[in-house]
Structure 1
Amino acid sequence: MFFIAVDEDIRLQLVNDSIVPRYLELLEESKSYLSQWLPWPTFCNTEEDFKAFVKRSLHDYAEGKSLTCAIEFQGSIVGNISFNAIRYDLKMVEIGYWLGEPYQGNGIVTRACQFLCNYAFNELGMEKVQIAAAEENLPSRAVCERLGMTLEGIITNKEKVAGRIVNHAIYGLKNSNISTG
Protein backbone atom coordinates (compact mmCIF):
# COMPACT_ATOMS: atom_id res chain seq x y z
CA MET A 1 0.00 0.00 0.00
CA PHE A 2 1.36 3.42 -0.79
CA PHE A 3 1.38 6.29 1.64
CA ILE A 4 2.77 9.78 1.19
CA ALA A 5 3.53 11.90 4.26
CA VAL A 6 2.28 15.47 3.81
CA ASP A 7 3.40 16.57 7.28
CA GLU A 8 3.44 15.25 10.86
CA ASP A 9 -0.40 15.04 10.96
CA ILE A 10 -1.41 14.19 7.40
CA ARG A 11 -0.74 11.24 5.12
CA LEU A 12 -2.22 10.41 1.76
CA GLN A 13 -3.06 6.77 1.04
CA LEU A 14 -3.78 5.45 -2.43
CA VAL A 15 -7.41 4.32 -2.36
CA ASN A 16 -7.93 0.59 -1.87
CA ASP A 17 -10.68 -1.72 -0.63
CA SER A 18 -9.53 -1.42 3.01
CA ILE A 19 -10.75 2.21 3.13
CA VAL A 20 -14.29 1.40 1.98
CA PRO A 21 -15.77 0.85 5.48
CA ARG A 22 -14.32 4.16 6.68
CA TYR A 23 -15.64 6.03 3.63
CA LEU A 24 -19.09 4.63 4.42
CA GLU A 25 -18.78 5.92 8.03
CA LEU A 26 -17.67 9.36 6.82
CA LEU A 27 -20.57 9.49 4.41
CA GLU A 28 -23.00 8.51 7.17
CA GLU A 29 -21.78 11.24 9.51
CA SER A 30 -21.45 13.97 6.86
CA LYS A 31 -23.97 13.12 4.13
CA SER A 32 -26.11 16.26 4.47
CA TYR A 33 -23.01 18.47 4.55
CA LEU A 34 -21.32 16.77 1.58
CA SER A 35 -24.56 16.69 -0.41
CA GLN A 36 -24.69 20.50 -0.40
CA TRP A 37 -21.68 20.67 -2.71
CA LEU A 38 -21.15 17.25 -4.30
CA PRO A 39 -23.48 15.14 -6.43
CA TRP A 40 -22.04 11.70 -5.56
CA PRO A 41 -23.38 11.24 -1.96
CA THR A 42 -26.89 10.64 -3.32
CA PHE A 43 -25.85 7.73 -5.54
CA CYS A 44 -22.62 6.39 -4.00
CA ASN A 45 -23.71 5.09 -0.61
CA THR A 46 -23.13 1.33 -0.42
CA GLU A 47 -20.07 -0.81 0.01
CA GLU A 48 -20.43 -1.97 -3.60
CA ASP A 49 -20.58 1.66 -4.81
CA PHE A 50 -17.36 2.56 -2.99
CA LYS A 51 -15.63 -0.62 -4.17
CA ALA A 52 -16.53 0.30 -7.74
CA PHE A 53 -15.14 3.80 -7.10
CA VAL A 54 -11.88 2.29 -5.79
CA LYS A 55 -11.61 -0.08 -8.76
CA ARG A 56 -12.23 2.72 -11.27
CA SER A 57 -9.76 5.01 -9.44
CA LEU A 58 -7.02 2.37 -9.41
CA HIS A 59 -7.59 1.63 -13.10
CA ASP A 60 -7.28 5.33 -13.97
CA TYR A 61 -4.17 5.60 -11.75
CA ALA A 62 -2.56 2.66 -13.57
CA GLU A 63 -3.26 4.43 -16.87
CA GLY A 64 -1.74 7.70 -15.58
CA LYS A 65 -5.06 9.56 -15.84
CA SER A 66 -5.62 10.37 -12.16
CA LEU A 67 -4.40 9.84 -8.59
CA THR A 68 -7.01 9.31 -5.87
CA CYS A 69 -6.02 9.16 -2.21
CA ALA A 70 -7.67 8.89 1.17
CA ILE A 71 -6.67 11.71 3.50
CA GLU A 72 -5.45 10.43 6.85
CA PHE A 73 -5.31 12.95 9.71
CA GLN A 74 -3.66 11.94 12.97
CA GLY A 75 -4.11 8.27 12.11
CA SER A 76 -7.75 8.37 10.95
CA ILE A 77 -9.13 8.60 7.42
CA VAL A 78 -11.08 11.86 7.20
CA GLY A 79 -11.65 12.47 3.50
CA ASN A 80 -10.43 12.16 -0.06
CA ILE A 81 -8.18 14.17 -2.36
CA SER A 82 -7.21 13.53 -5.92
CA PHE A 83 -5.79 14.64 -9.17
CA ASN A 84 -9.19 14.15 -10.82
CA ALA A 85 -7.43 14.53 -14.13
CA ILE A 86 -3.76 14.43 -15.04
CA ARG A 87 -3.37 16.05 -18.45
CA TYR A 88 0.21 15.56 -19.63
CA ASP A 89 -0.75 16.96 -23.04
CA LEU A 90 -1.77 20.25 -21.42
CA LYS A 91 0.77 20.11 -18.54
CA MET A 92 -2.16 20.54 -16.13
CA VAL A 93 -3.80 18.69 -13.26
CA GLU A 94 -7.21 19.19 -11.71
CA ILE A 95 -7.51 18.70 -7.94
CA GLY A 96 -10.70 17.61 -6.20
CA TYR A 97 -11.32 16.88 -2.54
CA TRP A 98 -13.88 16.28 0.17
CA LEU A 99 -13.57 16.15 3.93
CA GLY A 100 -15.88 14.84 6.63
CA GLU A 101 -17.67 17.71 8.36
CA PRO A 102 -16.19 17.10 11.85
CA TYR A 103 -12.67 17.60 10.43
CA GLN A 104 -13.29 20.99 8.82
CA GLY A 105 -11.30 23.97 10.07
CA ASN A 106 -8.00 22.17 10.80
CA GLY A 107 -6.21 23.21 7.61
CA ILE A 108 -6.21 19.61 6.41
CA VAL A 109 -7.37 20.27 2.85
CA THR A 110 -5.17 23.34 2.42
CA ARG A 111 -2.07 21.41 3.51
CA ALA A 112 -2.93 18.38 1.38
CA CYS A 113 -3.62 20.61 -1.66
CA GLN A 114 -0.35 22.49 -1.12
CA PHE A 115 1.45 19.15 -1.11
CA LEU A 116 -0.28 18.04 -4.34
CA CYS A 117 0.49 21.38 -6.01
CA ASN A 118 4.17 20.96 -5.21
CA TYR A 119 4.04 17.34 -6.36
CA ALA A 120 2.38 18.32 -9.65
CA PHE A 121 4.99 20.96 -10.39
CA ASN A 122 8.12 19.28 -9.06
CA GLU A 123 7.47 15.58 -9.71
CA LEU A 124 5.07 15.51 -12.65
CA GLY A 125 6.45 18.55 -14.49
CA MET A 126 3.07 20.26 -14.72
CA GLU A 127 2.69 23.96 -15.45
CA LYS A 128 -0.80 24.48 -14.01
CA VAL A 129 -3.02 23.23 -11.20
CA GLN A 130 -6.76 23.87 -11.40
CA ILE A 131 -9.52 23.53 -8.82
CA ALA A 132 -13.25 23.93 -9.48
CA ALA A 133 -15.50 24.73 -6.53
CA ALA A 134 -19.19 25.47 -6.37
CA GLU A 135 -19.51 29.26 -6.54
CA GLU A 136 -21.36 29.38 -3.19
CA ASN A 137 -18.97 26.95 -1.43
CA LEU A 138 -17.01 29.64 0.39
CA PRO A 139 -14.88 27.27 2.52
CA SER A 140 -13.65 25.47 -0.59
CA ARG A 141 -13.01 28.74 -2.39
CA ALA A 142 -11.06 29.94 0.66
CA VAL A 143 -8.74 26.93 0.26
CA CYS A 144 -7.97 28.08 -3.29
CA GLU A 145 -7.32 31.61 -2.10
CA ARG A 146 -5.01 30.42 0.72
CA LEU A 147 -3.05 28.50 -1.92
CA GLY A 148 -2.52 31.74 -3.86
CA MET A 149 -4.66 30.59 -6.77
CA THR A 150 -6.23 33.03 -9.21
CA LEU A 151 -9.96 33.06 -9.85
CA GLU A 152 -10.04 32.48 -13.61
CA GLY A 153 -13.79 32.70 -13.98
CA ILE A 154 -17.24 31.39 -13.16
CA ILE A 155 -18.79 28.70 -15.32
CA THR A 156 -22.56 28.96 -15.06
CA ASN A 157 -24.94 26.00 -14.94
CA LYS A 158 -22.05 23.55 -14.52
CA GLU A 159 -23.52 20.85 -12.29
CA LYS A 160 -26.72 19.68 -10.66
CA VAL A 161 -26.33 19.14 -6.92
CA ALA A 162 -29.14 18.35 -4.48
CA GLY A 163 -31.78 19.36 -7.00
CA ARG A 164 -30.26 22.75 -7.78
CA ILE A 165 -28.02 23.92 -10.59
CA VAL A 166 -24.70 25.28 -9.37
CA ASN A 167 -22.06 27.43 -10.97
CA HIS A 168 -18.36 26.57 -10.64
CA ALA A 169 -15.64 29.00 -9.65
CA ILE A 170 -12.49 27.96 -11.52
CA TYR A 171 -9.17 28.65 -9.83
CA GLY A 172 -5.74 28.21 -11.36
CA LEU A 173 -2.18 28.22 -10.14
CA LYS A 174 0.77 28.43 -12.51
CA ASN A 175 4.11 26.94 -11.53
CA SER A 176 5.71 30.39 -11.25
CA ASN A 177 3.05 31.54 -8.72
CA ILE A 178 3.36 28.68 -6.23
CA SER A 179 3.45 29.53 -2.56
CA THR A 180 5.77 27.32 -0.52
CA GLY A 181 3.97 28.10 2.76
Structure 2
Amino acid sequence: MFAKKVDDELELVLVHPALAMKYATIVEANRDYLSQWMAWAPHVKTEDDFKAFVKNSLLDYANGKSMVCAIEYKGILVGNIAFNTIKPELKMVEIGYWLDARYQGCGIMTRCCQAMINIAFNHLKVEKVQISAAKDNYSSRDVCERLGMTLEGVITNKEVVSGRILDHAVYGLYKPQ
Protein backbone atom coordinates (compact mmCIF):
# COMPACT_ATOMS: atom_id res chain seq x y z
CA MET A 1 0.00 0.00 0.00
CA PHE A 2 1.28 3.46 -0.95
CA ALA A 3 1.86 5.80 1.97
CA LYS A 4 3.69 9.12 1.93
CA LYS A 5 4.80 10.79 5.14
CA VAL A 6 4.27 14.52 4.70
CA ASP A 7 5.74 15.57 8.05
CA ASP A 8 5.60 14.55 11.72
CA GLU A 9 1.81 15.10 11.80
CA LEU A 10 0.59 14.12 8.35
CA GLU A 11 0.57 11.05 6.15
CA LEU A 12 -1.09 10.38 2.80
CA VAL A 13 -2.34 6.81 2.41
CA LEU A 14 -3.69 5.26 -0.78
CA VAL A 15 -7.37 4.58 -0.14
CA HIS A 16 -8.27 1.02 0.86
CA PRO A 17 -11.48 -0.76 1.91
CA ALA A 18 -10.77 -0.57 5.64
CA LEU A 19 -11.22 3.22 5.42
CA ALA A 20 -14.81 3.06 4.13
CA MET A 21 -16.55 3.31 7.50
CA LYS A 22 -14.24 6.12 8.63
CA TYR A 23 -15.04 8.05 5.44
CA ALA A 24 -18.77 7.53 6.02
CA THR A 25 -18.47 8.87 9.57
CA ILE A 26 -16.47 11.97 8.57
CA VAL A 27 -18.74 12.82 5.66
CA GLU A 28 -21.85 12.41 7.81
CA ALA A 29 -20.40 14.84 10.38
CA ASN A 30 -19.49 17.30 7.60
CA ARG A 31 -22.34 16.75 5.13
CA ASP A 32 -23.76 20.29 5.30
CA TYR A 33 -20.34 21.88 4.92
CA LEU A 34 -19.16 19.55 2.14
CA SER A 35 -22.45 19.84 0.27
CA GLN A 36 -21.71 23.53 -0.36
CA TRP A 37 -18.78 22.63 -2.60
CA MET A 38 -18.85 18.90 -3.45
CA ALA A 39 -21.52 17.52 -5.79
CA TRP A 40 -21.08 14.00 -4.42
CA ALA A 41 -21.52 14.88 -0.71
CA PRO A 42 -25.33 14.65 -0.50
CA HIS A 43 -25.35 11.28 -2.27
CA VAL A 44 -22.76 9.10 -0.51
CA LYS A 45 -24.02 8.04 2.87
CA THR A 46 -23.21 4.44 3.70
CA GLU A 47 -20.14 2.32 4.23
CA ASP A 48 -21.08 0.47 1.02
CA ASP A 49 -21.10 3.78 -0.89
CA PHE A 50 -17.54 4.39 0.27
CA LYS A 51 -16.48 0.81 -0.46
CA ALA A 52 -17.64 1.39 -4.05
CA PHE A 53 -15.70 4.69 -4.09
CA VAL A 54 -12.55 2.92 -2.87
CA LYS A 55 -12.96 0.10 -5.39
CA ASN A 56 -13.34 2.56 -8.30
CA SER A 57 -10.46 4.67 -7.01
CA LEU A 58 -8.13 1.67 -6.84
CA LEU A 59 -9.15 0.54 -10.33
CA ASP A 60 -8.40 4.01 -11.72
CA TYR A 61 -5.09 4.03 -9.82
CA ALA A 62 -4.16 0.65 -11.33
CA ASN A 63 -4.97 2.06 -14.78
CA GLY A 64 -2.87 5.20 -14.21
CA LYS A 65 -5.89 7.52 -14.37
CA SER A 66 -5.90 8.90 -10.82
CA MET A 67 -4.46 8.50 -7.33
CA VAL A 68 -6.76 8.97 -4.33
CA CYS A 69 -5.29 9.25 -0.84
CA ALA A 70 -6.69 9.51 2.65
CA ILE A 71 -5.24 12.30 4.77
CA GLU A 72 -4.23 11.14 8.24
CA TYR A 73 -3.46 13.85 10.78
CA LYS A 74 -1.84 12.52 13.95
CA GLY A 75 -3.13 9.08 12.97
CA ILE A 76 -6.74 10.22 12.44
CA LEU A 77 -8.48 10.25 9.05
CA VAL A 78 -9.42 13.89 8.41
CA GLY A 79 -9.95 14.20 4.67
CA ASN A 80 -9.04 13.23 1.17
CA ILE A 81 -6.65 14.44 -1.53
CA ALA A 82 -6.24 13.10 -5.03
CA PHE A 83 -4.84 13.43 -8.44
CA ASN A 84 -8.40 13.44 -9.78
CA THR A 85 -6.95 13.10 -13.23
CA ILE A 86 -3.52 12.12 -14.43
CA LYS A 87 -2.96 13.10 -18.06
CA PRO A 88 0.47 11.87 -19.15
CA GLU A 89 -0.17 12.97 -22.73
CA LEU A 90 -0.55 16.55 -21.48
CA LYS A 91 2.12 16.15 -18.76
CA MET A 92 -0.47 17.38 -16.26
CA VAL A 93 -2.36 16.33 -13.14
CA GLU A 94 -5.36 17.91 -11.44
CA ILE A 95 -5.56 17.88 -7.65
CA GLY A 96 -8.82 17.76 -5.74
CA TYR A 97 -9.35 17.66 -2.00
CA TRP A 98 -11.65 18.04 0.97
CA LEU A 99 -11.04 18.32 4.70
CA ASP A 100 -13.07 17.77 7.85
CA ALA A 101 -14.14 21.29 8.90
CA ARG A 102 -12.89 20.68 12.45
CA TYR A 103 -9.31 20.47 11.15
CA GLN A 104 -9.28 23.53 8.93
CA GLY A 105 -6.92 26.36 9.75
CA CYS A 106 -4.02 24.06 10.73
CA GLY A 107 -2.19 24.19 7.39
CA ILE A 108 -3.09 20.56 6.69
CA MET A 109 -4.30 21.02 3.13
CA THR A 110 -1.46 23.31 2.09
CA ARG A 111 1.11 20.78 3.34
CA CYS A 112 -0.70 17.87 1.70
CA CYS A 113 -1.01 19.70 -1.62
CA GLN A 114 2.71 20.52 -1.51
CA ALA A 115 3.47 16.82 -1.01
CA MET A 116 1.24 15.93 -3.96
CA ILE A 117 2.91 18.60 -6.10
CA ASN A 118 6.30 17.07 -5.25
CA ILE A 119 5.02 13.61 -6.25
CA ALA A 120 3.63 15.02 -9.49
CA PHE A 121 6.83 16.79 -10.53
CA ASN A 122 9.40 14.30 -9.21
CA HIS A 123 7.76 10.89 -9.66
CA LEU A 124 5.08 11.31 -12.31
CA LYS A 125 7.33 13.69 -14.25
CA VAL A 126 4.50 16.03 -15.20
CA GLU A 127 5.08 19.67 -16.02
CA LYS A 128 1.85 21.18 -14.68
CA VAL A 129 -0.35 20.81 -11.63
CA GLN A 130 -3.83 22.27 -11.77
CA ILE A 131 -6.48 22.88 -9.11
CA SER A 132 -10.04 24.00 -9.84
CA ALA A 133 -11.91 25.50 -6.91
CA ALA A 134 -15.38 26.98 -6.74
CA LYS A 135 -14.96 30.71 -7.30
CA ASP A 136 -16.58 31.52 -3.96
CA ASN A 137 -14.72 28.84 -1.98
CA TYR A 138 -12.16 31.24 -0.59
CA SER A 139 -10.61 28.70 1.78
CA SER A 140 -9.72 26.46 -1.15
CA ARG A 141 -8.55 29.35 -3.26
CA ASP A 142 -6.32 30.51 -0.38
CA VAL A 143 -4.62 27.09 -0.45
CA CYS A 144 -3.81 27.59 -4.14
CA GLU A 145 -2.40 31.04 -3.48
CA ARG A 146 -0.27 29.84 -0.53
CA LEU A 147 1.18 27.22 -2.88
CA GLY A 148 2.26 29.96 -5.30
CA MET A 149 -0.18 28.86 -8.00
CA THR A 150 -1.31 31.29 -10.68
CA LEU A 151 -4.99 32.01 -11.31
CA GLU A 152 -5.34 31.06 -14.96
CA GLY A 153 -8.98 32.04 -15.27
CA VAL A 154 -12.55 31.49 -14.20
CA ILE A 155 -14.82 29.02 -15.97
CA THR A 156 -18.42 30.09 -15.58
CA ASN A 157 -21.31 27.67 -15.09
CA LYS A 158 -18.93 24.76 -14.47
CA GLU A 159 -21.04 22.52 -12.22
CA VAL A 160 -24.24 22.23 -10.24
CA VAL A 161 -23.79 21.62 -6.51
CA SER A 162 -26.79 21.44 -4.19
CA GLY A 163 -28.96 23.25 -6.71
CA ARG A 164 -26.48 26.10 -7.28
CA ILE A 165 -24.51 26.71 -10.45
CA LEU A 166 -20.88 27.21 -9.50
CA ASP A 167 -18.09 28.93 -11.39
CA HIS A 168 -14.59 27.49 -11.04
CA ALA A 169 -11.38 29.40 -10.49
CA VAL A 170 -8.62 27.44 -12.22
CA TYR A 171 -5.09 27.62 -10.81
CA GLY A 172 -1.92 26.27 -12.36
CA LEU A 173 1.62 25.63 -11.24
CA TYR A 174 4.41 24.73 -13.65
CA LYS A 175 7.43 22.64 -12.78
CA PRO A 176 10.40 24.89 -12.12
CA GLN A 177 13.00 24.68 -14.89
Q: Give TM-score, length-normalised by structure 2.
A: 0.98
User: For this pair of structures, how many residues does the alignment match?
Assistant: 177
Q: What does residue 2 of structure 1 align with?
A: 2
Aligned partner of residue 89 in structure 1, secondary structure: helix
How many Å separate the matches in 1 of 2:25 and 2:101?
12
In structure 1, what residue type is equivalent to 2:30? S
Over the aligned positions, Cα root-mean-square deviation in angstroms equals 0.9
Q: What per-residue deviation string (whole Å, max 9, x for no partner) do you get for residues 16-52 of structure 1?
A: 1111111111111111111111111111111111111
Q: What does residue 110 of structure 1 align with?
A: 110
Aligned partner of residue 168 in structure 1, secondary structure: strand
How many Å separate the matches in 2 of 1:176 and 1:125?
12
Runs of 4+ in 1 over 4 A off after TM superposition: none
Q: What does residue 88 of structure 2 align with?
A: 88
Aligned partner of residue 57 in structure 1, secondary structure: helix
Residues 1:14 and 2:14 aligned together: yes
How many Å separate the matches in 1 of 2:93 and 2:107?
21
Return the offset for 1:2.
2.6
* Structure 1: runs of 5+ lacking an equivalent: none
How many Å separate the matches in 2 of 1:126 and 1:2?
19
Aligned partner of residue 105 in structure 1, secondary structure: coil
Q: Identity of counterpart residues, as a percentage?
A: 58
Aligned partner of residue 61 in structure 2, secondary structure: helix
Instruction: Give the alignment of 1:23-34 within 5 angstroms.
Output: 23-34=23-34
In structure 2, what residue type is equivalent to 1:40? W
In structure 2, what residue type is equivalent to 1:55? K
Aligned partner of residue 33 in structure 1, secondary structure: helix
How many Å separate the matches in 1 of 2:60 and 2:172?
23
Q: Give TM-score, length-normalised by structure 1.
A: 0.96
Instruction: Give the alignment of 1:53-132 within 5 angstroms.
Output: 53-132=53-132
How many Å separate the matches in 2 of 1:137 and 1:8?
28
In structure 2, what residue type is equivalent to 1:23? Y
